[in-house]
């Protein structure tokens, strides 16, 4: 008995010691990410296995896959990570219900599989979102119930939940803002919802953890060749103006809507391989939805799909699908697109939203893999699947695709890089790779939930400097500490990096973002050792960008600010 008691005490002591060590490890501050230290690797490494141009979803996915396989991987982004298309999505991780209606079962299967993996690998950013499709015609409910049941079956073990028909009474109880007249019921289905640019920065951090080097504000200005084969790139650091000639065994062009420019640096006679399609979203107060469920309108009058999705205590409504001849890093929404969204949403909501209700409006350009505009020149008919091209010089280019399948795209394109660059063959290992910040069962009501396990860093910053616990914006639930977090641990270099992508302030409320920009500039200047002139310049630059997200009133007339 004495021996038993002794062993029990010993066991409990070891268990308590283990718990203490666990708590200590969780509270240890993670090392800061120094962009300057990452740049030093450009001077110390003679040749890289892989250089990736572009820091959006496809570029980050490829860089993570290559770094995880152990290849010496360098990613170069001319502006900030996910600055373009990859931060301007509808915030959905989905299999694509409309692709199923088009008969593209292969794309749906791939997307559903990747949706399930993304939920498992980044549960702090991806959640199961319930959607309701309101039915105002008798045939509508059985038709979509059948189609969505097939959607669920295709998802298999990675299904997010079963689709079920709702009565009109239950539909209105679930989403009380829907119009009652002629409502026959609804169809409930499940899909994924996420934060796109937050996933992007977590991928950057994971790439670094795997030994890769991702650099923002590094523009590729040229391509180097030897005997007609690509040997590397020339890149310029926006911060210092310094140029680097960087050698690599193989180069990937993953620049989204800008792939044509890189292809034409390689071959001036190369024809355009992508077309751009603009999608616009508006952001409204949560009062316009009054539900945790999202609304999906599967067929608008012109054949598009419209979503109203709860996101960061607001509602994102969109999108449009209009071809654009010119690609811009900050595309501007048009009055036509905004009016289309408002009018379509107003057909289904008891309170019709107006321009004065818009908190923010943002536009993104989709890089569609197509040589022509398809039937009738409609971009919605162009394939959303990705394609990989290998030029005569050995330049590999990936076009098309979407966030949901970023991992699969990364796997496929790295396999192509291996054969093109003659790299040692190594298997992909990202299928079950946990993304930085991984945390099971996050509290999505916590305004800091999207940091996942990194929330402890924000808390530690506040513990060391209590004034960092003050609100920058109480309405948007943004703390001063989050600015410091963005600079020290997330490679933010500008106000826009912080307010558009490290936090989502600009996308949630443009006016509020402009209001807090000077305070953000002051906090950043202290961390980056910048002067008052830098603060003023940064604030001015941010305001000029933020005006494109803002709808202003002039002389009681609502106008879209495009200055």
Say whether both 134 and 208 belong to one domain: no
Cβ 469 vs Cβ 481: under 8 Å: yes
Residue 22, pLDDT > 50, answer no
Q: Find the mean pLDDT for residues 307-319.
A: 95
In a domain, 168, yes or no: yes
Number of structural domains in the chain: 4
Kindly state the average pLDDT of the residues 95-123: 84
Q: 3-state SS of 18-57?
A: HHHHHHHHHHCCCCCCCHHHHHHHHHHCCCEEEEEECCCH
Whether 14 maps to a domain, the answer reads yes
Q: Which domain holds residue 14?
A: 1-25
Structure confidence at residue 6 (pLDDT): 44
455-464 and 2-27 helices cross at what angle (nearest 10)? 80
- 460/315 same-domain check: no
pLDDT of residue 311: 96
The CB-based long-range contact list for 458-467 (8 Å cut-off, 24+ gap) reads 458/482, 458/485, 460/27, 460/29, 461/485
Beta bridge partners of 48: 248
CA pair distance 90, 371, nearest whole angstrom: 25
Euclidean distance between CA atoms 236 and 217, whole angstroms: 8
Q: What is the reported pLDDT for 275?
A: 87
Residue 480 lies in a domain: yes
Helical segments of 376-428, H only: 406-421
Distant-in-sequence, close-in-space partners of 37: CB < 8 Å, separation ≥ 6: none
Which tens digits make up the pLDDT trace of 1-21?
A: 454 454 444 444 444 434 433
Q: Can you give the C-alpha Rg of the chain in angstroms?
A: 24
Distance in angstroms (rounded) separating the CA atoms of residues 58 and 427: 19
- pLDDT at position 185 over 80: yes
Q: What is the pLDDT of residue 305?
A: 85
Per-residue pLDDT, 521 = 98
Q: Is residue 367 part of a domain?
A: yes
Per the CB < 8 A criterion, the answer to whether 276 and 75 are in contact is no
Q: What does the pLDDT read at residue 302?
A: 67
Pair (400, 332) in one structural domain? no
Specify the pLDDT at position 19. Answer: 41
Are 175 and 287 in a shared domain? Answer: yes
Q: Which pLDDT belongs to residue 94?
A: 87
DSSP 8-state assignment for residue 176: T
Which residues make beta-bridge pairs with 105? Answer: none
- Looking at the structure, tell me whether residues 204 and 165 fall in a common domain: no
Does a structural domain hold residue 435? no
DSSP 139-173: THHHHHHHHHHHHHHHHGGG-----EEE-HHHHHH
My answer on whether 125 and 175 are in the same domain is yes
Digit-coded pLDDT (tens) for 450-480:
999 999 999 999 999 999 999 999 999 999 9
CATH code (residue 121)? 3.30.9.10
In sequence order, what are the residues at sequence separation of 6 or more whose Cβ sits closer than 8 angstroms to the Cβ of residue 263?
253, 270, 273, 391, 395, 397
Shortest CA distance to 311 belongs to which of 197, 391, 464, 394? 197
Based on the domain organization, do 41 and 97 belong to the same domain? Answer: no
Q: 78 pairs with which residues across the strands?
A: none
Same domain? For 94 and 77 the reply is no
Burial class (CB in 10 A: 0-12, 13-18, 19+), 547: middle
**In whole angstroms, what is the distance from residue 290 CA to residue 82 CA?**
30
Claim to verify: residue 414 and residue 483 sit in the same structural domain:
no
E strand or H helix at 283: strand 274-285
> Confidence class of residue 384 from pLDDT cuts 50, 70 and 90?
low
Query: In this predicted model, what pLDDT tens digit does every residue of 247-262 receive, in sequence order?
Result: 999 999 999 999 999 9
Q: Are residues 162 and 281 in the same domain?
A: yes
DSSP 451-499: GGGGHHHHHHHHHHSGGGGSEEETTTTEEHHHHHHHHHHS---SHHIII
pTM score over 0.85: yes
Residue 430 included in any domain: no
Give the residue from 258, 441, 283, 476 showing the smallest Cα distance to 366.
Answer: 258
Domain membership flag for residue 443: no
**Residues 104 and 93 both lie in one domain:** yes
Q: Tell me the CATH number at 59.
A: 3.50.50.60
Q: Are residues 11 and 159 in the same domain?
A: no
> 427 lies in a domain?
no
pLDDT in tens, 192-244: 999 999 999 999 999 999 999 999 999 999 999 999 999 999 999 999 999 99
Task: Give the single-character DSSP code of 258.
Answer: G
Cis peptide before 301 (omega within 30 of 0): no
| Residue 470 belongs to domain with CATH number | 1.10.8
Separation of alpha carbons 17 and 200, rounded Å:
37
């Amino acid at each position: 008995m004495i021996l038993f008691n002794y062993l029990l005490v010993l066991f409990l002591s070891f268990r308590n010691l283990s718990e203490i060590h666990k708590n200590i490890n969780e509270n240890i501050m993670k090392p800061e990410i120094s962009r300057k230290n990452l740049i030093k690797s450009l001077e110390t490494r003679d040749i890289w296995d892989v250089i990736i141009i572009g820091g959006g979803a496809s570029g980050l996915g490829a860089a993570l896959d290559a770094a995880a396989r152990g290849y010496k991987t360098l990613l170069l982004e001319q502006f900030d990570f996910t600055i373009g298309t990859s931060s301007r999505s509808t915030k959905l991780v989905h299999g694509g219900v409309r692709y199923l209606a088009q008969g593209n079962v292969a794309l749906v299967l791939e997307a559903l599989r990747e949706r399930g993996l993304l939920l498992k690998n980044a549960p702090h950013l991806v959640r199961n979102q319930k959607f309701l499709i309101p039915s105002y015609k008798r045939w509508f409910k059985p038709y979509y119930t059948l189609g969505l049941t097939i959607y669920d079956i295709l998802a298999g073990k990675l299904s997010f939940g079963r689709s079920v028909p709702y009565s009109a009474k239950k539909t209105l109880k679930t989403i009380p803002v829907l119009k009652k007249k002629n409502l026959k019921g609804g169809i409930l289905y499940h899909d994924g919802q996420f934060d796109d640019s937050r996933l992007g920065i977590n991928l950057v951090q994971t790439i670094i953890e795997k030994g890769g080097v991702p650099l923002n504000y590094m523009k590729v200005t040229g391509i180097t060749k030897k005997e007609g084969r690509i040997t590397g790139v020339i890149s310029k650091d926006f911060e210092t103006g310094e140029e680097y000639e960087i050698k690599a065994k193989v180069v990937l062009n993953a620049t989204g809507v800008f792939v044509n420019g890189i292809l034409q640096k390689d071959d001036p006679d190369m024809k355009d391989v992508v077309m751009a399609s603009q999608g616009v979203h508006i952001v409204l107060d949560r009062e316009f939805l009054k539900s945790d469920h999202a609304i999906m309108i599967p067929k608008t009058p012109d054949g598009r799909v419209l979503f109203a999705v709860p996101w960061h205590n607001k509602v994102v409504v969109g999108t449009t699908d209009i071809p654009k001849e010119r690609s811009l890093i900050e595309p501007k929404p048009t009055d036509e697109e905004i009016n289309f969204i408002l009018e379509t949403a107003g057909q289904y909501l008891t309170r019709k939203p107006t321009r004065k209700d818009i908190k923010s409006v943002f536009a993104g350009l989709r890089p569609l893999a197509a040589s022509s505009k398809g039937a009738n020149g409609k971009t919605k008919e162009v394939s959303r699947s990705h394609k990989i091209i290998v030029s005569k010089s050995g330049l590999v280019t990936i076009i098309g695709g979407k966030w949901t399948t970023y991992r699969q795209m990364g796997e496929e394109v790295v396999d192509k890089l291996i054969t093109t660059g003659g790299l040692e063959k190594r298997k992909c290992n990202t299928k079950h790779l946990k993304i930085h910040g991984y945390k099971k069962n996050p509290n999505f009501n916590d305004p800091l939930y999207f940091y996942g396990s990194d929330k402890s860093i924000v808390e530690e910053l506040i513990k060391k400097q209590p004034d960092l616990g003050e609100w920058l914006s109480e309405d948007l639930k943004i703390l001063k500490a989050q600015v410091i977090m963005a600079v020290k641990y997330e490679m933010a270099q500008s106000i826009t990096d912080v307010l558009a992508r490290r936090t989502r302030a600009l996308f949630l409320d443009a006016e509020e973002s402009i209001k807090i920009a000077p305070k953000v500039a002051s906090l950043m200047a202290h961390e980056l050792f910048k002067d008052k002139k830098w603060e003023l310049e940064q604030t001015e630059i941010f305001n000029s960008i933020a005006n494109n997200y803002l709808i202003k009133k002039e002389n009681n007339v609502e106008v879209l600010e495009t200055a």
